[in-house]
Structures are given as C-alpha cells and as structure tokens.
Amino acid sequence: MDDHNTIESMSESVEMYLLRIALLQDEDKPVPISVLAEELSVSPVSANQMCRKLEERGMVHYEPYRGVTLTLQGEAVAMRVLRKRRIWEVFLSEKLGVEPQQAEEIACRFEHVTPDGLAERLAGFLGNPTLSPQQQPIPPSIGVALRRPRFPLSGLGVGQKAQVIHVDGDATGYDFVRGQGLAPGVTVKVLAAAGNGSMLIEAGTSQLALSADLARLIDVAPLRFSGSSSTLDDVIIADSGTEPTEINPEAS
Ligand SMILES: [Zn+2]
C-alpha cells in the first residue's frame, strides 16, 4: 500500500477514524481510545495503533491516557468526508425514499469513493442542503482549505484553546518560548489572564506563565470544532479540488 501523505489517498479506515473522532469530540476534550474502539467495533489495540499512525501523519494529537483530538488537518479531512455522507443521505432519503437510518449506512460506503466534484454536483442538484434527513448539519464545502483566523496567543480569552501555528523566530524571547515546548502544532489553553496582558497557559501537561510580550510572539488558531454548525464557520472554502492549504509552512 502506498503511503502518500495526501488527502486524496486517505484509506477508508483512516477516513472513518477521523470522522468518528470528529463526531465524538465534545468541544476540545480528547476522545478516549476505548470509546473510539467501541464505536468503530475494533479492538483497543488496533485503535491505539491507528491513532499513533494518525499522529505521525499530523492528523490527530494523541495524549497518552487521555485520547485523541483532531488537528486542523485531520478536521479538514473529517469535514470533507462528513459533507459527502450527508449529501448522499439527503439524496437517498429525499429522492429515493430510503429510510434515514438506512440512508446513513449506505452513505457511509459512498462517502469514501465519491470524488469531490461529483459531491458538489450532487449538492447543487439537491439545492445545496444544509441539514441531513436526521437534522444533522452538513459541513459547508468540499475541497476545503482551512484558513482559520490566526492571531497572537495574547488575543485568546480564558478557557479558550488553540493550536500554535507559528512562533516569531526573530523576536527576543523566541528561544525561551520554544524551550517551553510552544512549538507549532502544540495545543494550548488559557487558564488565566491578567490585566497587563500576561497569561497562565496550559501546554500539553505543563503550565506556564507568559508575559504579554511573549504571548504576542505566538500565533495560534482556535480549536473548537464540536460538531455543531456554528463552529464550522471557521472552515473556509477554497475552490473545489484544491489541496488543503498547509497550515504550518515552518521550515525548521
Ligand atoms: Zn464510511
């Protein structure tokens, strides 16, 4: 099996893992491997192995003993598959009269083999639906490039979680920030913020206090997909067929 690290060559099982994690993920809480395994009817051992692979491919964050959360890239794949599923559900249910539950089962097979362009034509044919027959939101588009707003960490509020996208390499304090493990890809959460702009954050398993100046060096993107339609506004659409934009072009 070839191992192209592109969205286009995702295997069905990879897509199903990412989709299942997206559907199980409640806010930013990690999905325990045991729960994921049960939902996918696989052993915890194979779920564990797959999640390690997904982590290597940059699709999930794997926190030992806690579980997995999707990275922006993993989320983009999951949303793309979910959109195909929901569109097929609408077609099967509305046009062919298939029961919603059965429509979802059939759509789960179609979603892995449907080219993006075809899914969009089908969506257009159906009048660009936004809800599935089971009243689930349909992610807004395909050929997704995640261009989330990114802003300095200092712009986050207490309780907000984000993924580090970039650390300003020219600034004083860069070495300190990177030394604290605040590298691109790391998930951070703001625990407290003071009026002077300094903040206490959680990064992985550790907590650190950052001055306002340091917090401004770090660019982040919010992490808050939870399966509801409103949070999908963060996923901005590129032209159908374009590759997802590389979020982290950092060369080092
Ligand atoms: Zn499926």
Structural domain boundaries enclosing 191: 151-251
- Give buried/exposed letters for 150-169 (b at 16+ CB in 10 A, else e): bbebbebeeebbbbbbbbee
pLDDT tens string 34-59: 999 999 999 999 999 999 999 999 99
The CA 216 to ligand 1 mean position distance, Å, reads 42
Cβ neighbors of 219 (< 8 A, separation 6 or more) are: 150, 151, 152, 153, 164, 165, 166, 167, 168
The pLDDT value recorded for residue 122 is: 96
The reported pTM is 0.58
The CA 109 to ligand 1 mean position distance, Å, reads 5
The CA 159 to ligand 1 mean position distance, Å, reads 34
pLDDT band at residue 244, thresholds of 50, 70 and 90?
very low
pLDDT tens string 61-89: 999 889 999 988 898 899 899 999 999 99
Residues, Cβ < 5 Å to ion ligand 1: 108, 111
**Count of the separate structural domains present in the chain:** 2
The CA 217 to ligand 1 mean position distance, Å, reads 41
79 domain-assigned: no
CATH for 204:
2.30.30.90
Q: How far is residue 252's CA from residue 250's CA, in Å, rounded to a whole number?
A: 6
Confidence check: pLDDT of 190 > 80: yes
The CA 192 to ligand 1 mean position distance, Å, reads 41
225 domain-assigned: yes
pLDDT tens string 103-120: 999 999 999 999 999 999
Q: How far is residue 29's CA from residue 227's CA, in Å, rounded to a whole number?
A: 13
The CA 120 to ligand 1 mean position distance, Å, reads 18
- Give buried/exposed letters for 189-225 (b at 16+ CB in 10 A, else e): bbeebeeeebbebebeeeebebbeebbbbbbbbbbeb
Residues 155 and 247 in one domain: yes
CATH for 30:
1.10.10.10
